[in-house]
Each structure stands twice: as C-alpha cells, then as structure tokens.
Amino acid sequence: MLTIQQIREEKERVVVGLQKKRIANAEQLLDEVLRCDAERRQIQKQHDDVLSESNRVAKSIGQLMQTGQKEEAEKAKAQAKQLKEEAQRLGEALREAERRLQQLLATIPNVPHESVPEGASAEDNEIVEQKGEIPVLPENALPHWELIVKYDIIDFETGSKVTGSGFPFYKGKGAKLQRALLNFFLDRAVEAGYTEVQPPVLVNEASAFGTGQLPDKDGQMYYIERDKLYVIPTAEVPITNMYRDMILNEDQLPIKHVGYTPCFRREAGTWGADVRGLNRLHQFDKVEIVQIRKPEESYEALEEMRRYVQSLLEALELPYRVVKLCGGDMSFTSALTYDMEVFAAGQKKWLEVSSVSNFESYQAARMMLRYRTENKKTELLHTLNGSALAFPRIVAALLENNQTPEGIRIPKALQPYTGFDIIN
C-alpha cells in the first residue's frame, strides 16, 4: 500500500506511475486521498485540543475544591463532562476518517519502477533476453495434452469426475516427475542460500490483505465461509506474512525463504488452446522464493532472483526468454516484474512459468513490516518473490520438447530425482 506520506510528498511521481499502469483517474484519486487526509488531520487536531482542554479543566477541579470555590468547581465538573462527551464524539469521527482513508489507500495500486516500459497489454512487454535452442520436432509431434494420454501419466477425466475441471490426477511416472521437480527445485534453492519453510495453505483475511490479494483478487481466491479463511493462490502469501507486524533488526536481514505448496486459483479459463491441458489449472504445485531486503538492496536482489530462476531453466534444458512487463500488464502490487517464458515445441508457443517481482515497500506498508536502522529509526522494508518454479507449464514444455520415437526423454539434471531417464 502506498503511504500517505508518499502521496503527500511525491504526488506528481505517483500520478505518472499510476497512469503508466493505466489508471485513468489517477490525479482525481490522489486528490480524494489528500482530501480525506486533510479531513482526518483536522479532526485529529480538534480531538487533541479537546483532550488538552479536558485535562486542564480536570486539574482545576481539585484546586477549586481546595480553595473552597465549590460553585466554580461544580461548573468545572459540568464542563469536564461536556468535554469528555465531545472527545468521545471526535474520537469516533477520527476512527471513521482513518477507516475511510485506509480503505481508499487500499484501492490504489503500486507505482511502477521508472524502468518499466510503457504499454497497455502483453504485446507491449519488453523481451530482455532469450537463451536456448528452439527444438525442431518431427511433423507428427504432439502437444502435451495428447502425450499425457498416450503415456497415461496425467488424468484430467478422473479429476473432473472427482472434483471438477482444472484438477487433474498425476499417475505413475507423471506423479514421480512432479515429485522430482519438487525436490529438485527445493534442493537448488537451499543450495542458493534460501531457508526452506513449509507454510499452511489457508490464510486469514489480514494475511490476504497484507500481500495485496485483497481487495484486488478477492473473486479469484477460494474462500471458506465458515472459518473465514482463504485458500492460497501462491506460497508468497503465508511466507511473506510470517513477518507481518514485526520490527526486525538489521542483523536479521536479508531474509530468504523457499517453500513448496499446492496453489489454488478460481481464475482458470475454460476456452481455447491457451487453457488446454496443463496450460491453466485451478490447482497446481509451485515452489516459491521470497526475499525481504533493505530498500537500497532490493533491485540488486531482484536481479539475483532473476538469474537464479534462469539457472533452473538452463538446468532443465528448456529454451526460455526473459520479459519485462509493461505498466499495463503488471500486477496490482508490483513495482517491477520479470516473467520467464519457456518455448513449448508441441504447441509452438511461449508459456509463462515464473514471475519475479519487487514490490518495494508496498506489501510492507500493508503488513507493517519494518526494520530498525543503526540510528534506531524504523523504516519499511522491501519484499520480493518469484516462482521457482510453477510445475504445470514446465511439465508441458518438458513433455513436448523431449518427445522422441522411443518416448519422452528426461533432462539429466532431473534423472537422479526421477530414477528413470525416459517416459515410455
């Protein structure tokens, strides 16, 4: 969440940034925020003045009684009662003004970094680099949704019967491939200095708000009404919220966590090739990396995370490209995002398999996540996360790119984890 201080002191920069994110009424929105803030500060001053006067009158009552001025003391008591009632009224008005201000601030997206390209949609994203050779497959090459049937490794039909569309069963070598990816990704992250955590897959409203899923993605998350809990769309939510409402010391930084969870998203589509097979699911597995850094370190950390995810794709022998998202294609909470896309030769298309993002202080402001500096002041931290990696489209590309007449070849880096070198 943007702080009111940011909006007061950097209004012009915030307006330009929000316009880059295609917020058409950015200036009017910020003017409304500043109006609410001015109203809140006016009520705060009135409240403080009444409290000060109430304290002065209360002290005078005893003095009047001691000097025998009972009539004046009774008048002072009546005045103190009125002031107390006025303070209560103003206190309620102040809480309501604060609620309105916070509610309005929660609807404003993060400001993009100055390097974020202009643009309205994915067509305007900037390709930063591309690596790996695009496989040349024979004429009869199959997309993964046909390969999984041919080798009987993933079952969408049974998943649809048991749960619904977008909830597949993984079977035999398909299940072992999932487990292999899980252990491979976790082991690599731990080797890179991340501490592994196994978080819950249900979070409360405060956690969903803290990382920006609420109110922006309310309709995209599964919600358990009876328990007032949300099923997580990504491990980012519980892992980052481990540090909600905390003030960290500098010697606790940087924080680097990795965690595996299943992820659940209601947004999965049902039409066209873009959502066929593993391209988009309601439930999928993902390993997530999260960093919490001092502000001056966060963009160096973002590049470090990007290089790390690239190293995973290279180990899996997948051709990939790095894409910097334009303003109109960025998430609500992100200041800068790189997408990693792999080429799936059976479909002849690029598939997004990871997003690595710097949220700067946006999530930290929502979570009140701060650190104590050397001079004992408290400042907001910066939060970052990235998919490292999401399984479904990785599996789709592995199956399509490595199909041979004998079966589907397993990359060498995964073979110690699968226990086999081919699916046939």
355 is catalytic: yes
pTM over 0.85: yes
Mean pLDDT of the chain: 96
393 is catalytic: yes
pLDDT digits (tens, 9 = 90+) for 288-301: 999 999 999 999 99
Pairing of strands 283-293, 255-264: antiparallel
What does the pLDDT read at residue 273? 54
Q: Which of 40, 280, 366, 370 is catalytic?
A: 280
Domains of the chain by start residue, with CATH: 4-105 (1.10.287), 122-423 (3.30.930.10)
Window from 40-44, 231-235, 263-267 with minimum mean pLDDT: 263-267
- With a pLDDT cut of 70, the percent of the chain lying above it is 98
Q: Which of 27, 53, 352, 379 is catalytic?
A: 352
Binding site as annotated, residues for ATP: 265-267, 352-355
121 is catalytic: no
Is the pLDDT at 267 greater than 80? The verdict is no
Q: Which of 188, 265, 306, 366 is catalytic?
A: 265
pLDDT digits (tens, 9 = 90+) for 131-145: 999 999 988 999 999
280 is catalytic: yes
